[in-house]
Amino acid sequence: MTATPRDRTDVDAEAEMQRLLQSGGAPPEREDPFRVGERRLAPERIVDLLRPFMTERRLERIRSVVAERTRTVVPVVEGLVNTGNVSAVMRSAEALGYQDLHVVRGDNERYKHSKRTTQGAQHWLDVWRWQEADRCVTHFHERGYRVVAMHLDADARPIDRLDFTRPTALVFGNEAEGVSAAMRSAVDQTVMIPITGFTESFNVSVAAALGLYHARQDRLRRQGAHADLSPDAQHRLIARFCLRSVSHAKKILARKLAETDA
C-alpha cells in the first residue's frame, strides 16, 4: 500500500524524536563511559590522552561549562509530541546549566515534526527515558528529590514560593493536555507561573524556559550560585565531554593504551 504524505510525516517525526532522545549522553548510572576494552580509566587519564586531539581553547571551554552545571534541579518533560518543543526545552535546559533531562513517554503514538532545532544542545545533556510516570517519580524520591509539576489546579502554588536549593525535579506536561493524571497523582505538589493577561497558558517550551530560568535565579539569590557539582563530579563530566568532543575517542584511547603497553 502506498504511504500517504501524512504517513511519511509521521514516520519522519518518529525518527526525529528518537534521534533527539538517543543523541544525548547516556546517564552515568546506566553506562560506564570510562571503560575502554577491558580497562577502566580514571577521568583525568582520559583527559590527558585526548588533550592532543583538542585545542586548548576547546578544553578550557569544556571546563568553564562544567563549572556552571547542576544536577540539584532536574527538568522533566512528559508526553511531548512536537519535536520542536522537545528541542526547545533541551536548548533552554543546556543553556541554563542543567545537566540532566528526563523524558517520560506519553500515551500518544504519533509525533509531530518541527524545524526548530536544539543547536546541538542534546549532545551535552544526560537524557533519561521512562515509559511510566510513576517509575520516573519513584527514581527521584529514592534519591531524595521533591517532584513538582507545572500544572494549574486549585492546589498550585506560585513558583516563586519554592526553594530551588532543595533537590527538585520540575515536570512539564503535554502540549495539549498538560501533566497527565498519573503524573499529578505521583508528584509532591503543583506550581504555576502567574499570568496577568487574557492568555490562559504558556506554550510548553516557553513555560519550561521561564520555569528553569526562575529556578536558576532563585538559587543564585538564595545561595549565590546555581552550579554545585563536586570537584570529583566535575572531573568526571569534563572527561565525558572530552569523549564527546573528539571523533572516534574510544578508538584513539585504545590505540594510545596499546602504544603504552607495547
- Whole-number pLDDT of residue 11: 46
Whether the pLDDT of residue 19 is over 80: the answer is no
Domain identity same for 107 and 159: yes
| Residue 111 CB neighbour total at 10 angstroms | 22
Residue 143 falls inside a structural domain = yes
Residue 144 falls inside a structural domain = yes
> Cα–Cα distance between 50 and 230 in angstroms, integer?
23
Rg (CA), the chain: 20
- Whole-number pLDDT of residue 14: 63
Q: Could you identify the residue written with the cell 509539576?
A: 149
Task: Give the mean pLDDT of 32-52.
Answer: 93
Residue 54 falls inside a structural domain = yes
Domain identity same for 216 and 235: no
- Whole-number pLDDT of residue 12: 61
Pairing of strands 189-192, 100-104: unpaired
- Whole-number pLDDT of residue 114: 52
- Whole-number pLDDT of residue 136: 96
Domain identity same for 44 and 165: no
Domain identity same for 101 and 44: no
Domain identity same for 156 and 253: no
pLDDT tens digit sequence for 193-244: 988 888 777 888 999 999 999 999 999 999 999 999 999 999 999 999 999 9
Domain identity same for 62 and 120: no
- Whole-number pLDDT of residue 28: 63
- Whole-number pLDDT of residue 176: 79
The whole model's pTM is what?
0.85
Domain identity same for 136 and 244: no
The amino acid that residue 21 corresponds to is L
* Strand-pair partners of 150: 191
Rounded to the nearest 5°, which phi and psi values hold at 30? -110, -10
> Cα–Cα distance between 186 and 196 in angstroms, integer?
29
Q: Which domain holds residue 167?
A: 70-228
pLDDT tens digit sequence for 75-118: 999 988 787 888 899 999 999 999 999 999 876 555 554 554 44
> Cα–Cα distance between 172 and 162 in angstroms, integer?
16
How many separate domains does the chain show? 2
DSSP summary character for residue 190? E
For the domain that residue 154 is a member of, what is the CATH number? Answer: 3.40.1280.10
Domain identity same for 154 and 138: yes
Whether the pLDDT of residue 39 is over 80: the answer is yes
Please list, in sequence order, all residues whose beta carbon lies within 8 angstroms of the beta carbon of residue 191, skipping any fewer than 6 positions away: 148, 149, 150, 151, 156, 157, 158, 159, 161, 162
- Whole-number pLDDT of residue 87: 87
| Residue 84 CB neighbour total at 10 angstroms | 17
Domain identity same for 110 and 217: yes
Domain identity same for 79 and 193: yes
Residue 250 falls inside a structural domain = yes
Residue 17 falls inside a structural domain = no
- Whole-number pLDDT of residue 113: 47
Give, in order, the Cα–Cα distances in Å from 140 to each of 47, 182, 214.
Answer: 31, 16, 21
pLDDT tens digit sequence for 150-194: 998 889 999 999 999 999 999 998 877 889 999 999 999 999 998
- Whole-number pLDDT of residue 112: 57
Whether the pLDDT of residue 62 is over 70: the answer is yes
- Whole-number pLDDT of residue 230: 97
> Residue 7 — very low, low, confident or very high, per pLDDT cuts 50/70/90?
very low
Domain identity same for 241 and 187: no
- Whole-number pLDDT of residue 177: 82
- Whole-number pLDDT of residue 217: 98
Residue 6 falls inside a structural domain = no
CB neighbour class for 55 (10 Å; exposed up to 12, middle 13-18, buried from 19): exposed
Residue 123 falls inside a structural domain = yes
Residue 11 falls inside a structural domain = no
Domain identity same for 41 and 169: no
